[in-house]
Homo-oligomer: A and B are copies of this chain.
Amino acid sequence: KSVKNWASILFHDFALATVFVSDAQYNRNIHFDSSPQAVRLYLLYNHWAFKVLLYFFIMVNLLYIYLELLCLIVFTARLVHYAKVIPPVKFWKDPKNICIIALTLVDMIIYGSLEAAKIYCVRWSRVLRPLLLVNVTEGRQLRRAFRSIRNALPQIFYVFLLFMFSLLVFSLMALKLLGKRNLKNIEGYPYFTDYLEIVFQLYVLVTTANSPDVMMPAYNAGSLFTIFFILYILINTYIFMSVFLAVVYNSYKKYLKEEIRQLVRAKRYKMARAFDVLQEQKEGCSQPVLTQASWNHIVRQVRPDITDAHRDLLWSVCDDKNQGVIGKVAFVQLADLLNIEVITLKSRPHPLQNLFPTIYLSAPSRLICRLVQHRGFVIAFDLIILVNAVFIGLDEENPLISNSEWGFLALYMLEILLKLYVFEPRSFFSRHSFWNWFDTLIVLSALIATIINSALKSSAGYTSRQILDIVFVLRVLRLIRVVDSIKRFRIIINTLIRIGPAILTFGQLIVVVYYVFAIVGMELFKNKVKFFDNSTHPEHAYCGNPLLKGHSFAQLGYCKNNFNNVVSSFILLVELTVVNQCDGFASVTHVSARIFFVLFHIVVVIVIINIFVAFVLEAFFVEYSVDKSQLQTSLEKKIEELELAVAQEKVDDNLVNAMETIVNDLTTGQATKPNLMFKIASKRYRTVDALLQRMFEADIDPEDFAEIDESQARSYDPRPVSNVFFYLFSIRV
């Protein structure tokens, strides 16, 4: 073979290994072709710009209906790209995306022609749209959430049946006990005489929306009837709702464990395949090995951002015995090793020290440094923030108070400048210094907004409401800073920050479910209730619908809670999630409209909110229980061995602020130490995925690289069992 040909094969090998390693690192599970062209296309397929574009068009598709054709073209392009990447057999096995696009197209054509013929038609394909969000290759987290739900459903279903049974029995008892007593409710209608009405009212009582109104007529008739309601609330509101949570939580945990096991196995398999591509047969070794040169090449491809020193550190962890080559087991660790955030601390002197060494190292300058690093400096600025909070609360029309804002801004600017004087700027604005970035951005934006505001005021003589709003929001946001100085709060805040990305997953889940309900709700209730901005409009008092005259819905001014457009539908659905009230809509359409609201409550509150709560609970328990992984320990040990560790006494338990303290120590003193140090990032920046993985990966034999067999593969990149009941959830889930 010619050298050129050989080089191209080598290049392809590295490219393939790189793809395997980075797939393992980020837990991507796509079975792509291993031909050179497919690998190149696959790399392009995973490019962030394409992903952003796709999500942008999904959003456009969800929001604007007339741009649909353009969106469809984008989706089709992406799908064709995907088809080129993976083997054709695998592509045709999962025809859901094609189906969605084809169905949407068919629906568009039907709707267009019927519209042209002026025949009323429902755009039913809209309900399918959010499934695109679930079904795109990138929606792994979302699919996992859907899988959790699907797995919890059978268990929830039985508890739900029991709950319904209890509801029906209680309703029957209410009918028998209260139906014949000629009681009237507050509106003067007969109370508890219709069985279905009772069932509905007692269901709403579970959501606590109509408490205590629903029991008042009975209570007024006799105090003993409250025993019935108290028993009902105890059993159905408290016990059954807890049981729902218990069932959801239990199946969530069980399923999560299996999911993580599959993920770890898939990752191992990919790393082993990468190793197979790169392996060499060295003399003196019975097993194939990987040389440091190939290893370095791969790591440079996968993580171009890490320094040479950091890479050498990782190598020395892998090649524990200093043999110059590593085996399969050591190579497989790489994916996890790359996920451990190692902070490289360069002991760079402050730029000012280089420019004006005598001034910067003079006694007054050193005093400033010591003052700024003192604990009192933080406390002083916390106090200033609290005083600022009081001033914000006071009336800003008082000139003294509105001018004091300039003083506070100056103080905050001074704080930032002092810190920049003392700490090395690049370390100060390093990637993990969340609060430094936060502070600087907030203070600078507040400064700019305040200047614009007063410029407008003095020149044009008026105050822009929008800019003032921004100024206020920024001022108040500044107060949040206080929280981070108190250690007890930091633990809670850290956990909350860590579960942030997962909350976004649940956000997507909620958006998918809300969208489906919003589309159905808009078909059912569009323009039944109208809101008039002008309160003198004659129809304003009854929301433009005579059926609402005198109805509490109109009296309480709920007219803007309607299904007239996507935005107001979403806001209404949020309200329904908190308190499920729907009397108004049942009045303007039909009593059976209540089914829609009950269904929404079951899906969102009983299932999704409980999964969310289970997730938050689990995240907190993981936080309370999981310690360092074995790999992390060995990495730390290696750092210490190489004497590159940051002095332990500086780290102590105050991990979060430690970084700042250390940076400052390095800049001011100790020139004898090596000019490069490593530290494993604090717990704050760990991902939930990594935490969960660590909880369960001990179960798996580290020498086990077996490819997942077909039955297991089905559940890890699952093609679900055909089941009519779960069809809705089975789209690529």
Contact = CB atoms under 8 A, between A and B. Distances in A.
Contacts of A612: 238, 242
A212 B561 contact: yes
A489 B237 CA distance: 18
Interface in A568-583: 568, 571, 574-575, 578-579, 581
A169 to B, nearest CB: 6
Interface stretch (A53-61, A157-165, A257-265, A520-528): A157-165
A609 interface: yes
A587 interface: no
Interface in A232-260: 233, 237-239, 242-243, 245-247, 249-250
B161 A489 contact: yes
A492 B612 CA distance: 23
Contact of A476 (B169, B233, B482): B169
A489 B158 contact: yes
A176 B220 contact: no
A558 B624 CA distance: 45
Contact of A245 (B531, B556, B617): B617
Interface stretch (A118-126, A291-299, A301-309, A467-475): A467-475
Interface string A633-676: 00000000000000000000000000000000000000000000
A136 B476 CA distance: 52
A480 interface: yes
A477 to B, nearest CB: 8
A578 B237 contact: yes
Given A476-B169, A557-B216, A567 B211 contact: no
Given A169-B476, A212-B579, A219 B571 contact: yes
A165 B483 contact: yes
A498 to B, nearest CB: 13
Contacts of A249: 617
A197 interface: no
A600 interface: no
A660 B176 CA distance: 34
Contacts of A243: 492, 496, 616, 620
Given A476-B172, A479-B172, A574-B230, A531 B177 contact: no
Interface string A478-509: 01101100001100110010000001000000
Nearest to A578: B211
Contacts of A226: 571, 574
A186 interface: yes
Contact of A556 (B208, B213, B237, B473): B213
Contacts of A246: 616-617, 620-621
A5 interface: no
A393 interface: yes
A208 B621 CA distance: 27
A389 interface: yes
Given A172-B389, A579-B208, A579-B212, A220 B531 contact: yes
A195 interface: yes
Given A469-B177, A472-B176, A579-B208, A195 B556 contact: no
A242 B556 CA distance: 30
A172 B393 contact: yes
Contacts of A219: 560-561, 571
A211 B579 contact: yes
B165 A616 contact: no
Interface in A391-425: 392-393
Contact of A212 (B211, B578, B617): B578
A613 interface: yes
Contacts of A613: 238, 242, 245
20 contacts: A162-B489, A162-B493, A165-B482, A165-B483, A172-B476, A176-B472, A176-B476, A177-B469, A177-B472, A177-B473, A208-B578, A212-B579, A216-B561, A219-B561, A219-B571, A223-B568, A246-B620, A246-B621, A249-B617, A250-B621
Given A172-B389, A226-B574, A239-B496, 5 more contacts: A173-B473, A175-B393, A195-B393, A216-B558, A237-B578
4 closest A-B pairs by CB: A176-B472, A246-B620, A242-B616, A212-B575
Interface of A: 158-159, 161-162, 165, 169, 172-173, 175-177, 186, 195, 208, 211-213, 215-217, 219-220, 223, 226, 230, 233, 237-239, 242-243, 245-247, 249-250, 389, 392-393, 469, 472-473, 475-476, 479-480, 482-483, 488-489, 492-493, 496, 503, 531, 555-558, 560-561, 567-568, 571, 574-575, 578-579, 581, 609, 612-613, 616-617, 620-621, 624
